[in-house]
Amino acid sequence: MFTQAIARALSRLGLDQRGTDPHPRQPMPMLPQKADAMFSSHMVAGYLPSPRGFSTLILGQHNREGNFVYAGFCGTGLSEETRAVILEELKATGRKTCPFRTVPELRDDFRELPDVPPRWVRPSVVVEVEYRQRLKDGLRHSALKGIRPDKKPRTIRLSPLSERGPFTNLIAY
């Protein structure tokens, strides 16, 4: 399976799925969380290529009706090793057309996105993303927190607003 291949490759590099560094440390006590931090699972639907491989992952989720819809993008939180492993797997699942019913407008009010066409992939990789706010046009201040090989893509749904609270049981490693 695709996500198992990523997990094995990360393991060979000495990294776990959460992207921790290869040098184990003693577990830290519970850290206080920012009140506005939220977490959710997304599927990777594409990426924006760059000289480093890719600059941004394009994310999606299934809505209430079961349609695969654009959820935002994420451009931070990846080490170079993790970026290389993910890129190799994404290239293997490439497709010519956008997996969403309508091609999303990729824009960011806070930074310049590369002016390159997106590379679309079959949405089979599930990632966990931290973000501060969800708007109609995507996530704000998002960061990749890890790959989720334990989750199946068909189970990734856009959660109701009442369930989009902060993740309170996060343990720092």
Q: What is the CATH number of the domain that holds 98?
A: 2.40.50.140
Determine, yes or no, domain membership for 131: yes
Q: Are the CB atoms for 48 and 116 separated by under 8 Å?
A: yes
Q: Residue 165: which pLDDT band, with cuts at 50, 70 and 90?
A: very low
> Which tokens sit at 64?
């209430």
Q: What is the predicted pLDDT for the residue at 18?
A: 53
Which string of DSSP letters, residue by residue, matches 14-47? T--TT---SS--PPPPPPPPPTT-EEEEEEEEEE
Q: Percent of the chain scored above 90 by pLDDT?
A: 13
Q: Residue 163: which pLDDT band, with cuts at 50, 70 and 90?
A: very low
Determine, yes or no, domain membership for 60: yes
Q: Decide: pTM greater than 0.75.
A: no
* 138: Cβ contacts below 8 Å, ≥ 6 apart: 70, 71, 72, 73, 104
Determine, yes or no, domain membership for 52: yes
| Residue predicted with more confidence, 168 or 111 | 111
Q: Percent of the chain scored above 70 by pLDDT?
A: 70
Q: What is the predicted pLDDT for the residue at 170?
A: 35
Fill in the DSSP letter of residue 172: -
Determine, yes or no, domain membership for 28: no
Q: Structurally, how many domains does the chain consist of?
A: 1
Residue 160 backbone class (left: φ over 0; alpha: ψ -120 to 50; beta: rest): beta
Determine, yes or no, domain membership for 107: yes
Determine, yes or no, domain membership for 164: no
> Which tokens sit at 11?
């393991």
Domain that holds residue 54: 2-19+38-156
pLDDT tens string 88-114: 888 999 999 999 988 888 776 555 566
Determine, yes or no, domain membership for 92: yes
Determine, yes or no, domain membership for 32: no
Q: What is the predicted pLDDT for the residue at 112?
A: 58
